[in-house]
Structure 1
Amino acid sequence: MTDINPPLLETKQIVKATVFALVLGSVLFVTAVLPAEYGIDPLGTGKSLGFSRLYLPDSPVGIATIETDGPKSYPPLKLEELGSGPDVPIPREVDNPAPAKQFELRQDSVTIRVPAGKGLEYKINVLKYGQVKYEWVTNKGVLYFDFHGEPKQANPGKDEFFESYTSAYSGNMIGTFLAPFEGRHGWYFKNKTDKEVVVSLRIRGEYKLDSKE
């Protein structure tokens, strides 16, 4: 029986192979990995070899980013500004029981154009304890918004009661909503810029579109 003894590499050969592997790995990292994974192309090889096209930014595909004109400061919002205020009586209709059946499930996509320096509302009709999921995003900039509801009343007073759920400055918002009473619920958008802002709103849940819109 013949013994097979594989040749042993000399120390110089091992060092050369290690150095070559390190150099090759560094070249591949700079020319391929950085452009494809991180969008960094210091040598321009990622663009010329096509690796830069593999880079995907953090924003999900198909979701528009919000353009702004630069950082701006906004006045702080106070708790006292929420809702219709303590002087407006709460109508008795808010205590009405929930219906045995909610509105049928539906979903809608709505485009809302808010003129420069103006404000407007968009409302939907929801029964008590009706559930709604929503998402809205502007095409550019930040809006002041107040997400609120007005209970359905037989004889509304001079100062109509409304309850605010969320109020903020934002260019994008998502949420889930459980109506505390039957009525009109929705958003007031205020555009404090000198350009029109377009809001893309998606709604899904137990509601009906407001006939007043």
Structure 2
Amino acid sequence: MTDINPPVLESKQIIKASLSALVIGTALFVIAVLPAEYGIDPTGAGHLLGFSKLYQPEEPQTAVVSVDGAQTAKALRLEELGSGPNVPLPKEANNPAPSQQLAQRQDSVTIKVPAGEGLEYKLNMLKYGQVKYEWTTDQGVLFFDFHGEVKEENPADETFFESYTVANSANMIGTFLAPFEGRHGWYFKNNTNKDIVVSLRVKGQYLLD
């Protein structure tokens, strides 16, 4: 009968193997688990490797608010602003402002937002260009996201956008200073069963999209 003597690991080998496993496990946790499960990507590797796309935030309990006495809408939350923390700000956003802005102009346009659908209306603006705006619907309330997208030389797969105002309304006025060169404007969403027409007036330094 042959005796089988299994190899005995030395304490140094055990410690080395344990440390290696700890390092690998920590790296996997930071690169894969945190971005995919919790939406946290401290190294940026999760975004590069695609793990961040797996993250699906838990839907908070939906609150409902009254917007015009007859129509209600889902309460909006801070987490809904912009493109999210995993989409980096394009480097072009930090470009200096031009020495001369676009010429002043003013326009009045009507935008038909079909029932149950959404669409965008944008202005092309230079960094630190200014506009004043006013819009009103002919009936009912629209969800809107007033936001901007950076003009990029090589656009990424996921588009960065910064939200300036998100609300449900039938009328809005304001002034705006573009924080970067690009397309700035409104995404309108009609959650009713009737077409809604927006009457928009703008005045300032811009070009129509």
Residues 135-158 of structure 1, C-alpha deviations (whole Å, 9 max, x = no match): 000000000000000010001110
Q: CA deviation at 1:75?
A: 1.2
Q: CA deviation at 1:70?
A: 5.3
**2:141 is the counterpart of 1:142:** yes
Give the CA deviation at 1:72: 2.1
Separation of aligned partners in 1, 2:200 and 2:74: 25
Aligned runs of 1:196-207 on 2, under 5 Å? Answer: 196-207=195-206
After superposition, where does 1:35-184 map in structure 2 within 5 Å?
71-184=70-183
Q: Who wins on radius of gyration, i.e. which is larger?
A: 1
List runs of 5+ in structure 1 lacking aligned partners: 1-67
Q: Return the letter of the residue paired with 1:157.
A: A
In structure 1, what is the equivalent of residue 23 of structure 2? none
Distance change in 2, residues 1:69/1:87 (3 Å): closer
**Residue type of the alignment partner of 1:128:** K
Is the Cα contact below 8 Å between 2:68 and 2:141 reproduced in 1?
Answer: no
Q: 2-side partners of 1:166 and 1:93: how far apart?
A: 22
What does residue 20 of structure 1 align with? none
Q: SS state of the match for residue 74, structure 1?
A: strand
Q: Is the 8 A contact 2:103 2:205 kept in 1?
A: yes
Q: State the AA in 2 paired with 1:95.
A: N
- Which SS does the other structure have where 2:74 is aligned? coil
Q: CA deviation at 1:73?
A: 2.1
CA positional deviation for 1:185: 0.2
Q: What secondary structure does 2:97 align onto?
A: coil
Matched, 1:185 2:181: no
Query: For residues 164 and 80 of structure 2, what CA distance do their matches in structure 1 show?
Result: 12
Partner deviation per Cα, 1:183-210 (whole Å, 9 max, x = no partner): 0000000000000000000000000111
In the alignment, which residue of structure 2 is the partner of 1:43? none
CA contact (8 A) 2:112 2:195 kept: yes
Counterpart amino acid of residue 77 in structure 1: L
Alpha-carbon distance in 2 for matches of 1:83, 1:132: 21
Give me the identity figure in percent. Answer: 69
Which runs of at least 4 in structure 1 moved beyond 3 Å after TM superposition? none
Query: Residues 116 and 163 of structure 1: is their aligned pair in 2 closer, same or farther, counting only changes over 3 Å?
Result: same
Structure-1 separation of matches of 2:206 and 2:71: 36
Amino acid corresponding to residue 100 of structure 1 in structure 2: S
Length-normalised TM-score, structure 2:
0.67
Q: CA deviation at 1:71?
A: 1.5
Deviation per residue, 1:90-126 (Å, 9 max, x gap): 1000000000000000000010000000000000100
Contact 2:150 2:181 in 1 (8 A): yes
* Letter aligned with residue 150 of structure 1: E
* 1:161-190 deviation digits (Å, cap 9, x = unpaired): 000000000000000000000000000000
Superposition CA RMSD, Å: 1.2
**Aligned partner of residue 80 in structure 1, secondary structure:** helix
